[in-house]
């Protein structure tokens, strides 16, 4: 019996096996995704996380339905819809020390990834999210996401019958 046939058989694997398999697949995806996402930040993972946490926080009020919206031009929200974020909010969301986030936010400003809009607020502009580096990253991660969905679809099907939350 093939691996896929085990997942799709009348006797799917136990719930813990499905969870552990899915966990392993997600770890594999993270380990491929991490370096791809960190590349524009000279592989500084902390700076990458601070940047993406700030970028996503600035549009979190727009993304609560997790669907593509018409006001996101080419998938990127315009600046007039974005909200500035504070170092404290990014620090809290990532569980990183305030000083660490402050240092990385200032470096992101220096490098042109975001801008300071007040004494305590920063903004990642739509133009930044649509620049060549981010567009290339979006393309890479899109194909990684498709691959992950392909791996996990049989697991989700099998899990519907064996796992209860």
For residue 46, is it within any domain? yes
pLDDT tens figures, 8-52: 556 667 778 888 888 888 898 889 899 999 999 999 999 999 999
Give Cα 69 distance to the centre of its chain.
Answer: 18
Question: If you search the block for the tokens 């600046």, which residue do you land on?
Answer: 79
For residue 14, is it within any domain? no
Residue 119: give its domain's CATH number: 1.10.10.10
State pTM to two decimals: 0.82
CA dihedral sign, ordered 156, 33, 105, 98: positive
**Domain ranges, residue 117:** 34-160
Encoding tokens for residue 29? Answer: 């995806």
For residue 19, is it within any domain? no
Domain count, the chain: 1
Encoding tokens for residue 110? Answer: 């220096």
User: Is-contact 57 93, C-beta < 8 A?
Assistant: yes
Distance CA 139, CA 134 (A): 9
For residue 72, is it within any domain? yes
For residue 45, is it within any domain? yes
pLDDT tens figures, 60-95: 888 777 777 777 777 888 899 999 999 999 999 999
For residue 52, is it within any domain? yes
């Amino acid at each position: 019996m093939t691996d896929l046939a085990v997942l799709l058989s009348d006797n799917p694997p136990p719930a813990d096996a499905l969870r552990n398999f899915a966990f392993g697949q997600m770890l594999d995806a993270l380990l491929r995704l991490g370096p791809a996402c960190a590349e524009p930040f000279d592989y500084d993972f902390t700076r990458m996380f601070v940047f993406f946490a700030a970028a996503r926080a600035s549009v979190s009020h727009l993304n609560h339905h997790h669907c593509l919206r018409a006001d996101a031009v080419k998938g990127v929200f315009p600046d007039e819809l974005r909200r500035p974020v504070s170092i404290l909010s990014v620090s809290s969301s990532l569980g990183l020390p305030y000083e660490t986030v402050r240092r990385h936010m200032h470096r992101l400003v220096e490098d042109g990834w975001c801008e300071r809009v007040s004494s305590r607020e920063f903004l990642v502009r739509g133009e930044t999210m649509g620049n060549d580096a981010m567009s290339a990253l979006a393309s890479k991660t899109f194909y990684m996401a498709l691959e992950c969905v392909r791996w996990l679809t049989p697991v989700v099907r099998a899990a519907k019958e064996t796992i209860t939350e």
